[in-house]
């Protein structure tokens, strides 16, 4: 597969002109990258203009409204499939079997096995496109697995299951399917957690979402990166507010068999999909 066959990489960025992801993609200079920024921050990001398409947005105020503007841009430009990647993602790679020191086989990140620094691996992107093509572009949303959720070697040859994992932070979006079904991201100030709201609406309308767990991504934990929440109390209050918006707007104030809430080890109230309700076998 040629680099030109990789879907455009769309990156929303705010207050992070030195993001590792941006530097990495700029240095590689082999992908179609569209950088979406707030109009007033153009001077911070203009240095990327010789290799990226920079789209200056106005009237956006949070992650959800920014991503909604990105999808509308793709509709206008006739772009049917994109990779939508948060600007703090520091790894996108694939997993492969590797032995531990005691000889046990586990799944490890390719860059770890080869001693290379974390980056965006072109082969992983091509694998991702191929996996979508094999499913005849029927997947509305897809994502790699999160690095902390490395899958067990026993699952190496198990079948993929639709609607059985969260598509957040680092995702593929079939923008045409969203348009055909009148679905888009909505502002966090309206629906709470924008990624969850979008995936809920996709699954509720019978669309397919999938996590490809032989691909992997990683990002900093909440509060450890510039621009994030800085303490557990702040994070907890933020999530309570976002969750209440999700219930009020997306669920229309009602309970739903496919959605629940769980208190994390850190004491945060986290929205969870009940995958036994949603999952679809391939």
Three-class DSSP labels, 29-66: CCCCEEEEEEHHHHHHHHHHCCCCEEEEECCCCCHHHH
Residues in the chain: 282
Q: Print pLDDT tens along the chain (282 aa).
A: 899 999 999 999 999 999 999 999 999 999 999 999 999 999 999 999 999 999 999 999 999 999 999 999 999 999 999 999 999 999 999 998 888 888 888 888 999 889 998 899 999 999 999 999 999 999 999 999 987 666 666 666 677 899 999 999 999 999 999 999 999 999 999 999 999 999 999 999 999 999 998 899 998 765 555 543 334 455 555 667 788 899 999 999 999 999 998 876 666 678 899 999 999 876
Which residue is listed with tokens 């932070």? 169
- Which tokens hold the place of 104? 């046990």
Q: In what order do the strands lie in the sheet with 9-12?
A: 53-57, 33-38, 9-12, 81-85, 170-174, 139-146, 208-218, 91-99, 105-109
Task: Report the C-alpha gap between 20 and 117 in whole angstroms.
Answer: 12
């Amino acid at each position: 597969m040629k680099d030109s066959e990789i879907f455009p990489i769309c990156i929303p960025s705010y207050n992070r002109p030195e993001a590792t992801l941006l530097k990495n993609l700029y240095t590689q200079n082999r992908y179609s990258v569209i950088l979406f920024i707030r109009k007033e921050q153009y001077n911070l990001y203009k240095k990327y203009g010789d290799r990226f398409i920079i789209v200056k947005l106005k009237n956006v105020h949070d992650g959800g409204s920014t991503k909604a503007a990105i999808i509308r841009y793709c509709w206008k430009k006739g772009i049917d499939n994109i990779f939508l990647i948060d600007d703090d993602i520091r790894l996108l790679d694939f997993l492969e079997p590797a032995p531990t020191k005691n000889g046990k086989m586990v799944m490890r990140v390719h860059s770890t096995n080869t001693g290379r620094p974390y980056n965006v691996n072109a082969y992983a992107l091509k694998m991702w496109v191929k996996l979508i093509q094999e499913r005849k572009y029927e997947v509305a949303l897809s994502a790699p697995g999160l690095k902390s959720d490395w899958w067990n070697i026993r699952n190496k040859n198990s079948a993929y299951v639709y609607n059985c994992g969260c598509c957040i932070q680092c995702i593929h979006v079939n923008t045409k399917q969203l348009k055909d079904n009148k679905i888009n991201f909505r502002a966090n100030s309206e629906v709470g957690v924008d990624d969850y709201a979008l995936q809920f609406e996709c699954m509720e309308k019978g669309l397919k979402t999938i996590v490809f767990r032989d691909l992997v991504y990683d990002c900093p934990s909440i509060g450890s990166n510039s621009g994030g929440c800085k303490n557990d109390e702040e994070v907890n209050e933020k999530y309570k507010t976002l969750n209440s918006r999700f219930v009020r707007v997306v669920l229309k104030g009602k309970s739903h068999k496919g959605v629940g809430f769980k208190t994390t080890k850190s004491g945060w109230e986290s929205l969870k999909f009940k995958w036994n309700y949603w999952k679809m076998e391939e």
